[in-house]
Amino acid sequence: MKLKSLILFMAGLMIISSCKKESSLPVPTIEFKIGHDVTDGVYHSIAYYENQDTLYLNEIDTLLIITVSEDNFSPLGLDTMITAKDFTIYLNTLYDDERFCICERAYDGGGGGGATSLSRNFLIPVRKSVSTAENKKVELTNPDFLRISYESVYTGLNKVITIVIL
């Protein structure tokens, strides 16, 4: 009988410990948005594609805009004024492999009390053809894929997405 009581007691402890409330701190994340430049001759803005998983080659202009955002990393304790470090993304397609780097100071999107988010826009020249190695243009064909890889030098977070090109 003592063994059965001990087992029930241990099961009760496991249930109580699993019901503890988790921390309500937001989880650090990395997000990508893919878009293109829209201009009226004077002002420029970004129009993001509605479907971020599949892009059609005939919709893609000669310039893609990839926005990389890191959010909710205030629990990581980074300074509000973050020193200059590289923002680098790697792009791979069926026939191409390119590295794009922005070597600038990172601007935080938070207010007071430490940085909470960072965001960078990469302007990626596109050519609709097969690969020309390391020409700093991404060659896309139909069908193809665009794999975007990013690892943060600020938070250590990383993310890879693949977009189908039709």
Angle value at C-alpha 135, between 43 and 121, nearest 5 degrees: 35
CA distance 114 to 27: 16
Residues in Cβ contact with 56 at an 8 Å cutoff, skipping those fewer than 6 apart? 165, 166
144 near 135, Cβ under 8 Å? no
One digit per residue, the tens of pLDDT, for the chain of length 166 reads 555 555 555 555 555 544 555 556 667 788 999 999 888 888 888 999 999 999 999 988 888 999 988 887 665 555 544 555 667 899 999 988 888 887 655 544 444 445 677 788 888 999 888 766 667 888 899 999 999 999 887 777 889 999 999 9
Q: Both tokens of residue 110?
A: 């938070």
**3-state secondary structure (DSSP) of residue 57:** helix
CA distance 131 to 93: 9
Matching residue, tokens 């249930």: 15
**What's the CATH fold of domain 25-165?**
Coagulation Factor XIII; Chain A, domain 1 (2.70.50)
Residues in the chain: 166
How far apart are the two ends of the chain, measured CA to CA in Å?
68
* pTM for the model: 0.72
